[in-house]
Chain A
Amino acid sequence: MSDVSFVRTEMLPEKAPPASEVGVLGWIRHNLFSSWLNAILTIVSLFFIYYVLSNILAWTFQSVWNANSLSECREIMMATWGDTHGHACWGVIKDRWLQLLYGFYPPYPAHPDATWSNPPETGAWPAYFRPNLTFILLLVAIAPVLFTKVPRKLLFVTAAYPFLLPWLMWGGSIWGPLMVAAGFAIGYLAYKFVLPVAGSLIAMIVAVALPILWWLFAAGSVADAINSVIPIGIASVESRDFGGFMLAILLGVVAIGVSLPIGIVLALGRQSDLMIVKYLCVGFIEFIRGVPLITLLFVASLLLNLFLPPGTNFDIILRVMIMMTLFSAAYMAEVIRGGLAALPRGQYEGADSLGLNYWQAQRLIIMPQALKISIPGIVSTFIGIFKDTTLVSIIGLFDVIGLTNGIRADTAWNGVYWELFAFIGVLFFVVCFSMSRYSMYLERKLQTGHR
């Protein structure tokens, strides 16, 4: 008898898995070459990617930066590579990048004769100070809205921004924007004082009507009057000088910023029990959604001109802003209505059972959930309207796309296409991709496990 045991008493040490199953090799084997068909597809795709990249990268990086005209670019290409195909001529971007970004906005508005290459000698703000400051303030103003960790005090900047933006961009007397802001204060005060006297409906009507009357009939002359006593202002810039990517951002920011609140109101109005309100909202939404944006822009640029008396100066950019805002508000309303419709009835009933009134229920229970559900749709609408700003080139505004035509009309750059459009594509991609990433971040943050 032996006491040889047939049963192992201790575990064998684990062997490393075969090299073909783990690591890079294993991953490749499993994911790219798991069958004959996959292997073929992988090879074909790799070849395709190589082909595309080898052309695009060569075009992008084997390129000419230091040239003052297309023909000079071509000469340099011939001298360097012996071939003019497959090489970008970035000289046009180097020559015109300021124009593509800012349009004809004067770099030094206070010094009309100064240009970028010929700055005023003393006492001027840095070039393009005002649009740049406006853009930085935009980031500051939206930070507290976008991120909860940002100090709440910055919300004051957010509140002031709608009045700062037009003043900084268009310039002129500071009293104009201040008087417009005063209209909101008037509305608020009117509501506060009329409410105890005449009830909420009358107070609401007065709070809307008084500021409108103020803006239409009093604000302009009051601003002029104060300005004649205490003139505070900066050099004004004509709307005609606005252009480039700045114009896209300006139109996009205004359309996005204003259309969200209007869209919420329209969505609520569409669900309202008050018949007139409901049908007004339905009519507006369906009309605007039934008409292409380009038609609205033509109305803004052409028809209004024919209807208004000759010599009327109704700012073209303001007209376009209004049309784009209305357009995006109608879409926004439908997106938010989708969010509202997705809420179970119990939420409304729960709000009622807590004794909340309509606005409290909307503010505390309905809207936070409805908006959360609608985030992807809202951001899609934002991205869409931002890209749609390029349509203004068709009515003769010099946004980036319109500028490409103007730049090509310069005999030095006639014949340049891809470089300009590639540059514009990158600009738009950066903005739209950031918006898209932010919406994904927001969705993850608000994921409270309702699903």
Chain B
Amino acid sequence: MKKSVILGVATIAALAAGAAAAGTVDDVKARGKLNCGVATGVPGFASPDANGEWQGFDVAVCRAVAAAVLDDPSAVEFIPTTGKTRFTALASGEIDMLARNTTWTFSRDVDLKFEFVGVNYYDGQGFMVPKALGVSSAKELDGATVCIQTGTTTELNLADFFRINNMSYEPVPIETNAEAQQQYLAGACDVYTTDASGLAATRATFENAGDHVILPEIISKEPLGPLVRHGDHEWGDVVRWTLNALIAAEELGVTSANIDELSSGPGDNPEVNRLLGTEGTLGEMLGLDATWAQRAIKVGGNYGEVFAKNIGEETPIGLARGLNAQWTDGGLLYAPPFR
């Protein structure tokens, strides 16, 4: 414990002496561990299990990057961040990347000096109401009491939505999702609004989930994705293309079942070959070895498999692919070509 203070002082001295910091890729390789910022607990996206192992959809991105860079999906130091601490943790270098269902917005990208490397989940704000209320559309919610988390973008979206539709509402301000569930179930509000994925996860925990409906309107765009610091483009590329590799793998039909067979030698599909490193030098361009994408995909399978395992329809959270389907299936996932 004392030693880290000493180390801290030593580091200050070293930096004052003019030693330049290396790029994040080299830092991560030298450290042998990826410091990945995650949420302190969002069902399906990031949660520690009984053994303290992190699980979830965001966590899978961290593990894939660790596998690509360090050849070890468990070489990740998961650093839980709250909504308040996440950006400072990234800006200060405490974490190398943030995968904490964070909405990609203009000001976060430009003003806070971060770089969103892609979108791993397209979310949007929705409404949940008890079936007994007899409401089938959000446009019928005039005069409703609404449970809303304070200080979030959802609060602003809600105000916008009701203003546009010329309706009034009474907000019931709450602090956390846990509190919201209790308030909503106790009848303190008619409507609960937050991201649709959060609504689905919340509804899944109710005793009588069938008594509650999620209204069809999605009133905002919430593209959630991993982000890195501005300026370190080599590192940004590594994270971006690891995410793209997972998405492209699904599109190209590379799964955890057939990846060993496909990567044993060059096959018929040149893009699969380039992705898996059996052809071309994509890995070298990225500053990694040829099989980086293979390792990333092997951790939990392609994007579709990761989705199905953590938040898909078979899980208690039960999210449909919806916007998060491949572009070939009418969704928004569209990985640029591996060429």
Contacts and interface: CB of A to CB of B under 8 A. Distances in A.
Bound pair (A, B): yes
Interface of A: 70-71, 74, 84, 95-96, 98-99, 103-104, 115-117, 166, 170, 172, 176-177, 180, 215-216, 219-220, 223, 238, 240-241, 298, 301-302, 305-306, 308-315, 317-318, 393-398, 402, 404-412, 414-415, 417
A170 B49 CA distance: 23
Contacts of B81: 396
A305 B85 CA distance: 11
Interface stretch (B64-72, B87-95, B287-295): B87-95
Which 4 residue pairs of A and B lie closest in terms of their CB atoms, listed nearest first?
A409-B41, A415-B205, A409-B47, A305-B92
A338 B7 CA distance: 40
Contacts of A408: 41, 43, 178
B107 interface: no
A318 B46 contact: no
B181 A394 contact: no
A122 B128 CA distance: 54
Contacts of B91: 306
Contacts of B15: 309
Best-buried of A70, A172, A220, A317 by chain B (most CB within 10 Å): A220
A70 B88 contact: no
B3 A223 contact: yes
Given A308-B12, A312-B12, A411 B88 contact: no
Contacts of A417: 178, 182
Given A241-B52, A417-B178, A310 B40 contact: no
Contacts of A305: 88-89, 92-94
Contacts of A411: 43-44, 47, 201, 204, 315-317
A67 to B, nearest CB: 14
Nearest to A172: B3
B257 interface: no
9 contacts: A99-B52, A240-B79, A308-B12, A308-B92, A312-B11, A315-B4, A405-B178, A408-B41, A411-B317
A396 B98 CA distance: 14
Interface in B165-215: 176, 178, 181-182, 201-202, 204-207
A170 B3 CA distance: 11
Interface string B47-83: 1111110011000000000000000000001111110
A247 to B, nearest CB: 13
Contacts of B93: 305, 310-311
B51 A116 contact: yes
A237 to B, nearest CB: 11
A415 B5 contact: no
B181 A311 contact: no
Contacts of A396: 40, 79-82, 85, 89
A306 B9 CA distance: 15
Given A95-B50, A309-B12, A396-B82, A406 B178 contact: no
A219 B182 contact: no
A116 B9 CA distance: 37
A394 B7 contact: no
Contact of A410 (B43, B78, B85, B89): B43
Contact of A409 (B8, B12, B42, B206): B42
A394 B81 CA distance: 9
B41 A405 contact: yes
A79 B219 CA distance: 41
A421 B11 CA distance: 42
B84 interface: yes
A315 B4 CA distance: 6
Contacts of B6: 215-216, 219-220
Contacts of A84: 207
A242 to B, nearest CB: 11
A303 B182 CA distance: 34
Contacts of B339: none
Contact of A394 (B3, B84, B89): B84
A76 to B, nearest CB: 13
A104 B51 CA distance: 7
A310 B92 contact: yes
A170 B43 contact: no
A197 to B, nearest CB: 30
A321 B43 CA distance: 31
B110 interface: no
A406 B40 contact: yes
B27 interface: yes
A234 to B, nearest CB: 14
Given A306-B91, A396-B82, A415 B206 contact: yes
Contacts of B49: 410
B79 A406 contact: no
Contacts of B77: 238, 240
Contact of B7 (A117, A220, A301): A220
A180 B1 CA distance: 11
A305 to B, nearest CB: 4
Contacts of B80: 396-398, 402, 406
Nearest to B47: A409
